[in-house]
């Protein structure tokens, strides 16, 4: 082969390699560690009042409480964790618009996230509080950047609620109040950060591959040292830093816990022994069920550093958008790869012809 042909071939090979490296770097990001053990089925949720199971929480005594996202009043149901039978009921004379998640604060109060807004038309959303004693409380809150649909509520050791939005296939927003909650309010929220996840091969849920990135529930462990967000397909568990800042925790590297084949998984909670519980709505003949992943908290603490590896964004500042050059860079990488492979093929074809 002439010298010019060899030079062209080497240039094409280098271009192809560089393009392939860039493409793989951009498209094949995976979590640093993942818990691959599948969840254990505990029981099927057959009670008609929990057909639309959307929230789970575990009290200090280990009692497992559940709620549905339907109805005209707040209704919480304590479940037998082995049979899913309802053994106790607690109600409040509050009429939620679209209740989506359940959490328990350090003082034992139940918090119901009336934050559902599929059509994004609500001027305010609400947090409904059922304290151990006394009358229920209503706190209305407002987003700083327009309506959002949200299905995840987190409460850390400081008792401050954190709402994580449901963005189908996108990056979730993380919001917390700008100050003490007024009654009934509204109290302004501020965008304190964001939450996104690596690619997942887990399958399940009602919306296909987009379900792997869509936040449908959240929970904190009994000791508040681990916080979890779930999608339709996985739970993502984060170690909470010593400061107790849940927003900072969500900037760390999560542990992946696959929750495959749930018909419409929207509930998450932790037992006092560190077991992760997940729950699903019923869809058609596929009944919702309660499932468990033993040792989830211990695995998270073992896998994650004591402090997040990435510094959290300033509390009141929205996260910076992706740089404008990123789509172009991806396009250039793909183009370089294709052109490099084509040039290599042409050079190789010319080399073969010269030998005939």
Candidate from 79-88, 162-171, 204-213, 341-350 with smallest mean pLDDT: 341-350
Residues recorded for the chain: 356
pLDDT of residue 34: 46
Q: The whole model's pTM is what?
A: 0.77
**Does residue 263 have a cis peptide bond before it, meaning omega lies within 30 degrees of 0?**
no
Which pLDDT band holds residue 71 (cuts at 50, 70, 90)?
A: confident
Bridge pairing between strands 137-142 and 187-195: parallel
Let me know: does 103 contact 111? Beta carbons within 8 Å. yes
| Residue 86 to residue 79: CA distance in whole angstroms | 5
Domain boundaries, given as residue ranges, for the chain: 3-28+324-354, 40-303
Q: With 0-12 CB in 10 A as exposed, 13-18 as middle and 19+ as buried, what is 166?
A: buried
Strand, coil or helix: 199: coil
Contacts of 166 (CB under 8 A, 6+ apart): 148, 149, 150, 151, 152, 172, 214, 215, 216
Fold for domain 40-303? Tachylectin-2; Chain A (2.115.10)
Q: What is the pLDDT of residue 324?
A: 41
The beta strands (E) that lie in the chain are given as 40-44, 53-58, 64-68, 74-79, 86-92, 101-104, 110-114, 125-130, 137-142, 150-155, 161-165, 172-177, 187-195, 217-220, 226-230, 234-239, 255-258, 265-270, 276-280, 289-293
pLDDT for position 355: 41
Work out the pLDDT band at 85, boundaries 50, 70, 90: very high
Average pLDDT of the chain is 82
In tens, the pLDDT along 221-233 reads 999 999 999 999 9
Helix (H, G, I), strand (E, B) or coil at 24: helix
pLDDT tens track for 90-115: 999 999 999 999 999 999 999 999 99
Residue 65 or residue 356, greater confidence: 65
Q: What is the mean pLDDT of residues 60-81?
A: 92
Q: Tokens 């996104």 identify what position?
A: 196
% of the chain at pLDDT higher than 90: 68
Say whether pLDDT at 326 is over 90: no
pLDDT at 284: 87
Q: For tokens 């979890």, name the residue.
A: 228
pLDDT in tens, 268-317: 999 999 999 999 999 988 899 999 999 999 999 998 665 544 444 443 33
| Alpha helices (runs of H) in 75-186, residue ranges in sequence order | none
> Which token pair is 27?
């498209």
Residue 346 has pLDDT above 60, yes or no: no
pLDDT tens, position by position, 153-198:
999 999 999 999 999 978 999 999 999 999 999 999 999 999 999 9
Measured CA to CA, the distance from residue 154 to residue 192 in angstroms comes to 13
- Lowest-confidence range among 67-76, 78-87, 146-155? 67-76
Whole-angstrom distance, CA of residue 251 vs CA of residue 309:
8
Q: Which two tokens stand for residue 87?
A: 């053994």
Could you identify the residue written with the tokens 């305010």? 124
pLDDT of res. 170: 82
Question: Residue 83 above 50 pLDDT?
Answer: yes
């Amino acid at each position: 082969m002439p010298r010019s042909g060899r030079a062209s071939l080497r240039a094409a090979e280098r271009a192809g390699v560089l393009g392939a490296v860039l493409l793989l770097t951009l498209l094949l990001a995976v979590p640093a560690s993942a818990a691959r053990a599948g969840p254990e089925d505990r029981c099927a949720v057959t009670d008609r009042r929990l057909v639309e199971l959307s929230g789970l929480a575990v009290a200090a005594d280990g009692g497992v409480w559940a709620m549905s996202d339907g109805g005209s009043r707040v209704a919480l149901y304590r479940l037998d964790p082995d049979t899913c039978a309802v053994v106790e009921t607690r109600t409040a004379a509050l009429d939620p618009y679209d209740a989506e998640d359940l959490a328990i604060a350090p003082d034992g109060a139940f918090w119901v996230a009336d934050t559902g807004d599929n059509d994004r038309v609500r001027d305010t959303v609400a947090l409904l509080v059922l304290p151990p004693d006394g009358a229920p409380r209503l706190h209305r809150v407002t987003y700083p950047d327009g309506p959002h649909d949200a299905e995840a509520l987190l409460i850390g050791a400081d008792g401050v609620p954190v709402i994580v939005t449901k963005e189908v296939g996108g990056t979730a927003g993380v919001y917390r109040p700008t100050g003490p909650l007024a009654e009934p309010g509204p109290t302004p929220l501020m965008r304190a950060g964001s939450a996104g996840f690596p690619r997942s091969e887990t399958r399940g849920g009602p919306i296909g591959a987009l379900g792997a990135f869509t936040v449908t529930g959240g929970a904190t462990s009994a000791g508040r040292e681990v916080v979890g967000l779930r999608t339709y397909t996985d739970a993502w568990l984060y170690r909470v830093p010593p400061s107790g800042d849940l927003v900072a925790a969500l900037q760390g590297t999560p542990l992946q816990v696959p929750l495959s084949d749930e018909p419409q998984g929207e509930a998450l909670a932790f037992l006092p022994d560190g077991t992760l519980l997940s729950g699903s709505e019923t869809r058609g003949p596929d009944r919702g069920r309660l499932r468990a992943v033993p040792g989830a908290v211990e695995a998270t603490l073992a896998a994650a550093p004591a402090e997040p590896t990435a510094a959290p964004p300033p509390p009141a500042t929205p996260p910076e958008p992706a740089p404008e050059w990123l789509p172009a860079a991806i396009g250039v990488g793909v183009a370089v790869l294709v052109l490099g492979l084509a040039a290599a093929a042409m050079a190789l074809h010319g080399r073969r012809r010269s030998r005939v």
